[in-house]
Structure 1
């Protein structure tokens, strides 16, 4: 097994098309563009079907990186895994997190612990009628396994966060399926985001052995007792396949970073956020502690489907003016920002089958100075 070193850096952005921070770090030599493996970002769009800030951000990054890599923008997008999550409600601050990976010679004898490792993979393109159904679950599970292999992670217990960008349905895509005599899981573009996120998350759960592999179409968005504790899925209009990024710790990594996670039971589960920080040796509201520094926190958020939070009624599902996913991002984002001591955290809305209903996974990455 090859020895690798993963790097992580969080960069603030002034807008979806702002690449100045990344370019500055490349120009200074802090980041080698050839080592960039994945970029996760939070953009200030609405996070809905018509959130074009996600596509705009990816296009800006690909255009900027193309000459540095002697590639076309399209080739850059094929080489690097891009996941843009729309919605920075409340105190959430727009930013990107850049993941790099390089191979190193040998392995120091003193390093017997597991350190951060990252792997990527993608599925084939899906037909519109396959979204939210078994085909998406099965293909995603295979892609997760491939990304684990790419990361050099052998034990599913060492996987702490699986970020997936998945497709959604549009009226044109629904019509294309209908023209072939097939029905899509829903005709609503907005509802299709939930189906795609849910099926993708179940694929993660199957791949990691969190649930049995006999998951069927009728389980998606119905059997909420089936979920992954590390999946984070985000739907977008800009693709028709799933992009998979696996983050975990591996004995084959000599990275200066470590990742850990916990699972929020609901939107106000401060104990779980604290546990995620503690899993990488960090305390509450402390950017640096005991030779460690917080790099970023990644979490999922959703309005509890039963309409309550610890027996008290919430109104997020009944607000006609503001989507429940936007409410959830703002609420959970504020909670995590306060506990982490920074508002530049990655909180994604819509946690179908990603953690227990109303909750979701929360992962923290720390840089180790020792």
Structure 2
């Protein structure tokens, strides 16, 4: 089997409700659908989310690098030759989500060709993932109302609160209001998206010591090496690396330098192949992981569930899997369902992301 063609289809679907956080705001899913075609008629599918404020990628840059650089170099390669494909992709610096999308699409082809779910190929640990929901910037009462709705309607009992780049008092108040309103049986953790200094993060931790927070994600910029190391040393809870650790090399650097002591794995930026390498590093060093979210569509969320359910270590914590609920529509022919706080894997060959072509035609941005 050989790769014959790679498509990068830009599309745009608005959100019903914007997600606001320290490093940006998302109102529209301006994503790129990746489709890798083969000479046997099997097509691998993946989704790529541009995040210019995090990785520097835009919708236009993803289309350009896939069509002009990756597609010509990968055409003619057997999709099973994943290491060869990784070497080809690695010749180009950056472009994390474009590379990750192609890698997921290749795994999708392999699963279809072997008539095996990709989650089984990766490890097959379990058949579902518990769901964590991200809460964006809003008043404390609005955040509590949203969390109560997510628990009542979807059974979600883990919440990540976006904080940073606003008065500390608002974030501290939100932590206390959420804990008081949700009770002790709900897991709460924070993500500052590099929006604090290390001293600000320590002050928030001091004033929320009685809240029972479980994680603190990317509190300050990794370039603040000394202060971040001091924060990790003093923090009573794990400090999670996210934007600072998109590749295995970055993970090694931050863990060994003491810049974090837990890692967010995001398949949208690492694909499945590098995500395995990152997971192996973390397991070998005894470091906790959480399956993160790039404000993914249902296609991207399904990829996260596929990988996360494959390993014991990635199922110990709930994965960030629910923010597609804020989108006005999606491209999946069979929508994802959150029930009793979990999303199941798809027990079909490949990843299981079947695209509704009518919807793709409606939302694609490259129509003549």
- Whose strand fraction is larger, Structure 1's or Structure 2's? 1
- Whose helix fraction is larger, Structure 1's or Structure 2's? 2
What TM-score, normalized by structure 2, do the two folds share? 0.27
